[in-house]
A and B are shown apart, each in its own frame.
Chain A
Amino acid sequence: MHYAELIQFVAFLGAILLLAKPFGLYMARIYEGESTALTPLLAPLEKGIYLFCRIDGAEMDWTRYAMALFILNGVMGASLFLLLLLQGGLPLNPNRVAGASWGMALNTAISFVTNTNWQSYAGETGVSYLTQMAGLAVHNFLSAASGMVVAIVLIRGLVRKNAHRLGNFWVDMTRTVLYILLPLSLVVALFLVSQGVLQNFGANKAVALLQPQTTSAGVIREQVIPMGPVASQEAIKELGTNGGGFFNANSAHPFENPTPLSNFVECLLILLIPASLTFTFGRLVRNPGQGRTLFYSMLFLLVVAAGVMYRAEIAGNPLVTKMGVVGPYLEGKEVRFGVGGSVLFGSLATATSCGAVNAMHDSLTPLGGLVPLVMMLLGEVVFGGVGVGLYTMLSFVVIAVFVAGLMIGRTPEYLGKKIEVREMWLAVGTVLTAGVLVLILVGAAVLLPSGLAGRANPGAHGLSEILYGFASAANNNGSAFAGLDATSLFYRLLTAAAILAGRYVPLLASLAMAGSLAAKKYSPPGLGTLPTDKVTFTLWLVVVIVIVGALTFFPALALGPVIEQLKMIS
């Protein structure tokens, strides 16, 4: 039985190795303004958008670029906030969903603008079809694109010399959406429908239960089947590493993820852009080896993580096995995915900042749940969110180059650009923001009654729930140990604050780094330059990432999942 799971993992690895390079090179063409097979079809639309939005295409320096990004994100957030408040009275609401409370609207607007998609509501009853389509889906596209263009600007900063202009924000956004996100989403959405994912605009449908159900509240004869435009949402939700589910159960819901094949494709979709962007990077810096360094260091961490998680979940819960139960540990998992399909999805969606779930992470074994937690706490650099993973990783590279430079007495340089005090500050700011937020907010939550009140499970697991919640928010992942009651105002406001700072501080620091690097002159590599496209550096990068993550969070992890694991097996 374990052979099939092994084949599934290997097939996944093979598929991503096969797809990442060509797709990465395709994206490089898009960002270099070259034409592709889709150009004849989409170029008129692209030109139309520039004309309509008064976009002149002139290149911007990093401050103007950042300003444009912040203005767009601000307008997006405000419009989603209003849409959520007012959805009760707006059209396309056949199930008569009421307007959201301001706390929920604020948390959700912030969460979706930042590509986090932390959900403090249940999709079935909290959001109208109009909000799903015109609000959440649009944000899924634009927040993903916002992350990707920042990564591209940082790459341009590395490539350009003595320059200030780094590209036009509106052109980069338009091309990302039109040539990368939209065509792929359309194809995948249709594929998902073929597997059983919904795509309609009708009201929920009541069906008669085959056997009426007797509950404490009386006899229930009907089941109300939810409806809605799910597939279009689902495709971009995975592709853009957004992760916000149409339904409360997210990708565990049979209408979001009906078959093992849909599960495999959704997994591929989650990793596709983050993995491919490393090849885009290699192409744009005219040095494929540099991209491969990033790809393989990320892949190494991912394979280790998935392996540990799989071992833990296959071993299962001895406390349950002891009672005479036979079979895989399926609490919070679906039969069609089994342990293998759940681990594949769970490790990918937390290694990237997707945050979709096809199993309830709160019910994972302690070590199985530790893996997603660590993937987030490392700063979402094991591929990470679309674009975000790459620019955060490049900050780790800067730190790794600098530390290595100090150790071996070489000039810290990366791709011909000198790494100086300013770059170090910005890199450290990018890498440590989330960690600092997590430690402070978790500390506050475990000291305050309203923080402790949110736990669903007692003991060490309760600490894990709180830690997971803030790790997810600050790193813009969006998954949860969902027992944590995230609907209280305390958690809605604190997670919203963590999401905001966790998104925009690193983003701004990366744009500033792009500006600072672009202004530098090119210093050709000499004898004193540390080669950053060799295996040695790949390993060194992995070590730096693990040390930074482990040192920051070891005490918290020891008190949460590690203690619980020891308790479970003793």
Chain B
Amino acid sequence: MKDLKSAMLFLLVSTLLLGGGYPLLTGAMASLLFPRQASGSILTDRENRCIGSALIGQPFAGHRYFHSRPSATGGHPYNALASGGSNLGPTNPAFLQQVANRIEAYRAAYLGVAVPADLMLASASGLDPHITPAAALAQVTEVAATRRMDKDALRRLVAFHVEDRQWGFLGEPRVNVLALNLDLDKLYP
């Protein structure tokens, strides 16, 4: 019975230390050192309204904006309260049909020959903020035409938004779609 008493007291002190002190201390230091990241890397416009998070993708349609990846979040695409992937297996007929439909829609809307894989396949989180540089470049002709701007200027803007591998070898090169589209609105409204 001595151990039962110790167990209850040990859980109590653990809860205070690990469940209270540790996250609160982390929170306090984080808001001191990295306030922007700790609160969600929120982006604001000139009137200081919140217009998104730099880390959370948003859905786009039409040719005015670059498109994000397909999203399988619960309810509707890019629902940030229901993150998740499609969980469809590689040989599932429903999955293959879904991809075929996306390819068909893509071919009807874009001129390019190659269909970029990341624009046809849903991400793991459903909130992937990035697409591959190839997927961004594949959309340049259509977006440039809609915005009546020079294709090369848009290519340069895309190139500017390409983040290289971290430290040269970690992860993959990528383009943040929301950041790119916000820049588009700012530079070529």
**Residue pair A210, B30 in contact (C-beta under 8 Å):** no
**Residue pair B53, A225 in contact (C-beta under 8 Å):** yes
**Residue pair A329, B56 in contact (C-beta under 8 Å):** no
Within 8 Å of chain A (Cβ to Cβ): is B121?
Answer: yes
Within 8 Å of chain B (Cβ to Cβ): is A133?
Answer: yes
> Which B residues are CB-close (under 8 A) to A341?
170-172
**Residue pair B88, A331 in contact (C-beta under 8 Å):** yes
Within 8 Å of chain A (Cβ to Cβ): is B42?
Answer: yes
**Residue pair B87, A52 in contact (C-beta under 8 Å):** no
> Which A residues are CB-close (under 8 A) to B126?
249
10 shortest A-B CB distances, which residue pairs? A260-B171, A327-B117, A483-B87, A252-B124, A338-B172, A360-B85, A134-B19, A249-B83, A461-B89, A260-B170
**Residue pair B82, A124 in contact (C-beta under 8 Å):** yes
| Interface positions of B (Cβ within 8 A of A) | 2-11, 13-15, 17-20, 22-23, 25-27, 29-31, 33-34, 37-42, 49-62, 64-65, 69, 74, 76-93, 95-96, 99-100, 103, 114-118, 120-132, 134-135, 165-172, 174, 178, 181-182, 185
**A167-201 toward B: CB 8 Å interface, digit per residue (1/0)?**
00010011001000010011001100111111111
The answer for the CA separation of A10 and B178 in the assembled complex, in Å, is 33
List 20 A-B residue pairs with CB atoms under 8 Å apart, sorted by A's residue number: A4-B165, A53-B6, A72-B7, A122-B74, A124-B81, A134-B15, A190-B34, A201-B27, A207-B51, A213-B76, A213-B78, A215-B77, A223-B58, A254-B128, A330-B121, A331-B85, A334-B128, A335-B128, A341-B172, A363-B88
**Residue pair B61, A213 in contact (C-beta under 8 Å):** yes
Nearest neighbor of A169 in chain B, beta-carbon distance? B3
**Residue pair B172, A336 in contact (C-beta under 8 Å):** yes
> Which A residues are CB-close (under 8 A) to B118?
327-328, 330, 335
**Residue pair B49, A208 in contact (C-beta under 8 Å):** yes
Kindly provide the distance from the CB of A12 to the nearest chain B CB, expressed in whole angstroms: 10
> Which B residues are CB-close (under 8 A) to A11?
169
**A208-222 toward B: CB 8 Å interface, digit per residue (1/0)?**
111101110100100
The answer for the CA separation of A319 and B100 in the assembled complex, in Å, is 10
Kindly provide the distance from the CB of A248 to the nearest chain B CB, expressed in whole angstroms: 5
Give the interface size class of chain A. Answer: 35 or more
**Residue pair B64, A211 in contact (C-beta under 8 Å):** yes
The answer for the CA separation of A206 and B15 in the assembled complex, in Å, is 31
> Which B residues are CB-close (under 8 A) to A215?
76-77
**Residue pair B132, A335 in contact (C-beta under 8 Å):** yes
**Residue pair B40, A337 in contact (C-beta under 8 Å):** no
Kindly provide the distance from the CB of A165 to the nearest chain B CB, expressed in whole angstroms: 16
The answer for the CA separation of A204 and B124 in the assembled complex, in Å, is 21
**A130-153 toward B: CB 8 Å interface, digit per residue (1/0)?**
000111011001100000000000
Nearest neighbor of B49 in chain A, beta-carbon distance? A208
> Which B residues are CB-close (under 8 A) to A52?
9, 13
Within 8 Å of chain B (Cβ to Cβ): is A242?
Answer: no
The answer for the CA separation of A253 and B22 in the assembled complex, in Å, is 23
* A199-B30, A200-B27 known; A481-B170 Cβ under 8 A: no
The answer for the CA separation of A253 and B128 in the assembled complex, in Å, is 8
Kindly provide the distance from the CB of A105 to the nearest chain B CB, expressed in whole angstroms: 17
The answer for the CA separation of A198 and B99 in the assembled complex, in Å, is 33
> Which A residues are CB-close (under 8 A) to B15?
134, 138
**Residue pair B171, A190 in contact (C-beta under 8 Å):** no
Within 8 Å of chain B (Cβ to Cβ): is A292?
Answer: no
Q: A122-B84, A213-B76, A331-B122 are in contact. List 19 more A-B contacts (CB 8 A).
A: A4-B169, A55-B10, A68-B3, A79-B11, A137-B23, A200-B30, A208-B49, A211-B58, A253-B83, A255-B55, A259-B171, A324-B114, A327-B116, A331-B90, A341-B171, A363-B90, A365-B90, A482-B87, A564-B91
